[in-house]
Amino acid sequence: MTAADRFARLPQLLAADSDLLRRGRWLTVDCRVDIGPEPFFLAIRNGALSAFERGAKLMRSTAFAFRASDEAWSGYWKSVPEPGWHDLLALTKRGAASIDGDLRPFLQNLQYFKDLLALPRKEA
């Protein structure tokens, strides 16, 4: 299973996480997450995924994009990640990930996004 295939299970993983849904209840934003070369578009409404689309979309606008290599996601999703691969900002610091766009919704909900993007770890 590729890293993108693992991420494709995000809707089910989030739907099963009532605590994360509770913590994200004030968050409504459209954002993009790249798993290696594959983009995913997340429409988050009140902490839940109202839409989740895989693959390139022409001229799709999002508030921000978080991009990381397949290697970075595979490291991040290990059940016990190695040092330096265990946090989104550890990945950006080492140059294995990047974030651009309007960072305000990302930082206003930073723990939510760290936990959301770590959900595939549950199936490691």
Partner 1 sequence: MAIQLDPMVGRYLRTDIDGVPYRLYFEEAGQGIPLVCLHTAGADNRQYRHLLADPEITRRFRVLAFDMPWHGKSMPPDGWERGEYRLTTQSYTAAIRAFCRAMELDRPVVMGCSIGGRIVLNLAIEHAPEFRALIALEAADFQQPWYDTAWLHRPDVHGGEVCAALVSGLIAPHSPPVSRHETLWMYMQSGPGVFKGDLYFYRVDGDLREKVKTIDTKTCPLYLLTGEYDFSCTPEDTLRTARHIAGAEVLVMKEVGHFPMSENPAKFREYILPVLDKISR
Supply 33's token pair.
């997450």
Whole-angstrom distance, CA of residue 85 vs CA of residue 23: 24
Dihedral sign, Cα of residue 66, residue 72, residue 73, residue 79 = negative
Whole-angstrom distance, CA of residue 77 vs CA of residue 94: 16
Interface pick for partner 1 out of 90, 97, 116, 117 (rule CB under 8 A):
90
Q: Count the alpha carbons within 13 Å of 102 in the hemisphere toward its beta carbon.
A: 10
Q: How far is the CB of 56 from partner 1 (least distance, A)?
A: 30
Which residues in 25-64 contact partner 1 (CB under 8 A)? none
Q: How far is the CB of 117 from partner 1 (least distance, A)?
A: 12
* Using rule CB under 8 A, residue 84 touches partner 1: yes
* Using rule CB under 8 A, residue 124 touches partner 1: no
Positions in the binding site for partner 1 (CB under 8 A): 80-81, 83-84, 86-90, 92-94, 103-104, 107-108, 110-111, 114
